[in-house]
Structure 1
Amino acid sequence: MPADVSNFRTSDEVAYDRTRLRQWREGRAGADGVSRRAMLGLLAAAGSAATVPLTAPARAVAAEPTIRKPLPPEWFVPRGTNAETRFEALRGTGRTTPNERFFVRNHTFTPVLDAGEWRLKVWGSGLRGRRGEDRPLEFGYDDLRRLPSTTRTAFVECAGNGRSFYASQQGETVTGTSWTLGAIGVARWRGVRLGDVLRRAGATRYALDVQPRGLDADFLTNGENLGRVRRPLPLAKALDDVLLAYEMNGEPLPADHGYPVRVVVPSWIGISSVKWVGDLEVSEEPLYSPWNTTLYRLFGPAHPPEGSAPLTRQTLKSAFEVASGATFPQGVRTRLHGRSWSGAGAVVKVEVSTDGGERWRRARLHDVPRADVWTRWSLDWRPGARGPATLLARATDARGRTQPAASVPNTQGYFFDAVVRHPVTVV
């Protein structure tokens, strides 16, 4: 096992992805469910100006209710198989998001699983004895709960959070669910370190990738069955801070959030935190799935022809706990509240403009800045002239990055990080 597995960064993933591609070309990597055409496109583009064919917006076929929990309209905006949290519904809820208000991201529909029958299968060439899929090591739900537990507070956020602003603010055409900023939630997760399970399973020093796979239904797009959701993690990340979680905010995981067990990958894009996990492939070879090839990379004129490396850490964002189009009485002091977060580290400063960006004032932070979670903040405002007004908030994180005025576009609308223009009216 590597001695130092901490501080795995996106720069590591870029170098690692080049190794993955080279090894696939040499026949030393796996590409489960990825068409040969897509893989050859990535390889060809790496040495030419060719572009990689992208998948069209996916469509899930659901034979059951897509989401199990109630979705009151004052808390959620339904978005197909998903549900976006309204940020104004978080006002006064504390630093963690109540389970009943946590956003839902489903590729198909929420399965109903029995913890007593659930098994986690651990298999692959990266384990001692080369356990294959026909001879996996299995953990039951009670087996997992008997292992030493740990608790970590962290956000889970869809890579497409903020996607709609590429169109509404920048005039860009992108594909995917038109999230505003509510495809994020923070929870206190309790479970077992993935690294502890891998060590018990006999992961060797030759292991490279760990690929969790969910137990939800197969995902269909463009007439092609991509199988169940799965996405590989580099072993260094898997051994670092990743959890196999079975509790959320002190309760067993709700069905919509991965019951009985899910993966939680702090600060990385939400697709990495596979729900309803059923097996882990531990491989000596680099692994590919549709979720790190044609999906969850950045494509477009501003990016390499072969696309970016697979997306890992989340970007920087801010949101007001105020409904879009809310009204405020002229001349009456009010207190604006909001939240800011970053995948690169703690948010240490937030500035707010109440006049469309002419002047900025520093907001008061309500939390000790911490990595992996958002920081709540507030600012007093006495609205002036009646009429439309635009509120802006911009965050700076511990690495010195500040939200820009515009985001670099990409065809699938990931990683919108620009300051969002929040319309309100003074009456």
Structure 2
Amino acid sequence: MKHFYQSEVKPYLITKSLNPENQETPIHFLNGDLVDEKLFYRRNHFSYPNFSSSFYFLPIVGLVHTPRTFSIQDLYSLPSRSIKMVLECSGDKRGLFEPKLFGEQWEKGAISQGIWKGVSLRTLLEHTGLVNSAKEFVFEAYDYGERPDSDSIFNFSRSLPIEKALEPDTIIAYEYNNQPIPFKHGFPLRLIVPGWYGMASVKWLKKITVIDKEFNGPFQTIDYVYYPNKENDNGKFPVTTVHVNSTIQYPLNSQLLHKGTYMIKGIAWTGNGRISKVEISIDDGQTWETCQLASAANKYSWISWNYKWEAVKKGEYTIKSKATDSQGNVQPSEPFWNRKGYGYNAIEKINVKVE
């Protein structure tokens, strides 16, 4: 059995921009289910925030009966919840859209996975109460700056509808993989919203405000919105749940191979249910075979898969992978085109040559 890549050299993130810092994971180097912080992709709209004494306290205000400010120590003392989950940028794979779209040209590595530990938001609300007219929770971050479309200064802020905010697995996290959350990934507190794209999991959480209407901040109503029409905003709708998806980690695209036996490997994930099946095609989609799943699929986390390929003939091959989840969602042959390039989940495809 041939393995595609083994090395003592440690991989590094792939830089897209430095200010703000945006770097993606070399997805083909990931082994196992937990991504070390050094290989955790970085997605920022602004420069990293500065620390202050108030950084360690979290106020919950607005339409609650008893507004309260929680300290880090308060959160540590409350019942905790740990969730192993995929965190995927909604722009992951944007660089694969044809024709090309404007925005950060992510390839396949704006995705990570780890174990987040914290307190359910609904647990915190047991200490504040909730007014009946409450409709949304607004999560304000400490990072701020100018947007390209405005001269105004904005904090990164996003909202969740009350139903999603009160799900038990929506947590205020303070640990990642059994360590304090790394600063570049939201220390000391980060909202974690399993099943939704990463923009919902607000980093460097500053304040939570409960409101009785729809939040209209620019990262809610301009960005992170699907625009299916190029010329106008007709039919727009918000980016929320992660689409069913898969990625081939080995072999690499455009790799030269010798005749022999290879283990094709990859990951698959979804925001809705669990992965139930991964199929692979060696002949550009003409025929499909079922892959071996590494373990039982878990809610929120990716699953590793593999397929043993006997490469007995020389030539060029188009290898494809296609995931199906427990809700019946299947990767489409073509991506859902949208003007800002969110949610790419077309059937995965690479090309290799056997010499």
- What TM-score do you get using the length of structure 1 for normalisation? 0.76
Which residue of structure 2 lines up, in the alignment, with residue 95 of structure 1? Answer: 33
User: SS of the counterpart of 2:137?
Assistant: strand
Which residue of structure 2 lines up, in the alignment, with residue 341 of structure 1? Answer: 269
The C-alpha deviation readout for 1:76-109, integer Å capped at 9, x for no partner, is 211112111111111xx32222222111111123
- Do the aligned partners of 1:113 and 1:260 also contact (CA within 8 Å) in 2? no
Which residue of structure 2 lines up, in the alignment, with residue 329 of structure 1? Answer: 258
Change (3 A) 1:299 1:73: farther
Give me the whole-angstrom Cα distance separating, in 1, the residues matched to 2:238 and 2:137.
Answer: 15
Give me the whole-angstrom Cα distance separating, in 1, the residues matched to 2:105 and 2:32.
Answer: 26
How high is the sequence identity, in percent, across the aligned residues? 28
- Do the aligned partners of 2:136 and 2:162 also contact (CA within 8 Å) in 1? yes
The C-alpha deviation readout for 1:326-364, integer Å capped at 9, x for no partner, is 33211x111111000111110110001122222211100
1:136-285 → structure 2 map (5 Å cutoff)? 137-167=68-98, 172-240=99-167, 241-285=169-213
Q: Give me the CA root mean square deviation.
A: 2.1
User: SS of the counterpart of 2:157?
Assistant: coil
1:312-323 → structure 2 map (5 Å cutoff)? 312-322=240-250, 323=252
1:74 aligned to which of 4, 7, 11 = 11
1:121 aligned to which of 27, 37, 59 = 59
User: SS of the counterpart of 1:127?
Assistant: coil
Give me the whole-angstrom Cα distance separating, in 1, the residues matched to 2:338 and 2:224.
Answer: 11
1:125-136 → structure 2 map (5 Å cutoff)? 126-128=63-65
Give me the whole-angstrom Cα distance separating, in 1, the residues matched to 2:227 and 2:128.
Answer: 37
Which residue of structure 2 lines up, in the alignment, with residue 366 of structure 1? Answer: 294
- Do the aligned partners of 2:108 and 2:247 also contact (CA within 8 Å) in 1? yes
More strand per residue: 1 or 2? 2
1:106 aligned to which of 32, 44, 65 = 44
- What TM-score do you get using the length of structure 2 for normalisation? 0.90
Letter in 2 for 1:89: F
Which sections of structure 1, spanning at least 5 residues, go unmatched?
1-71, 132-136
Letter in 1 for 2:159: P
- Do the aligned partners of 2:55 and 2:206 also contact (CA within 8 Å) in 1? no
- Do the aligned partners of 1:327 and 1:426 also contact (CA within 8 Å) in 2? yes
| Number of equivalent positions | 342
Give me the whole-angstrom Cα distance separating, in 1, the residues matched to 2:32 and 2:114.
Answer: 11
Give me the whole-angstrom Cα distance separating, in 2, the residues matched to 1:75 and 1:412.
Answer: 27
User: SS of the counterpart of 2:143?
Assistant: coil
More deviation in 297-306 or 386-395? Answer: 297-306
More helix per residue: 1 or 2? 1
Give me the whole-angstrom Cα distance separating, in 2, the residues matched to 1:152 and 1:262.
Answer: 13
Q: CA deviation at 1:284?
A: 2.1
Give me the whole-angstrom Cα distance separating, in 2, the residues matched to 1:360 and 1:350.
Answer: 10
- Do the aligned partners of 1:112 and 1:255 also contact (CA within 8 Å) in 2? no
Q: CA deviation at 1:384?
A: 3.4
- Do the aligned partners of 1:337 and 1:376 also contact (CA within 8 Å) in 2? yes
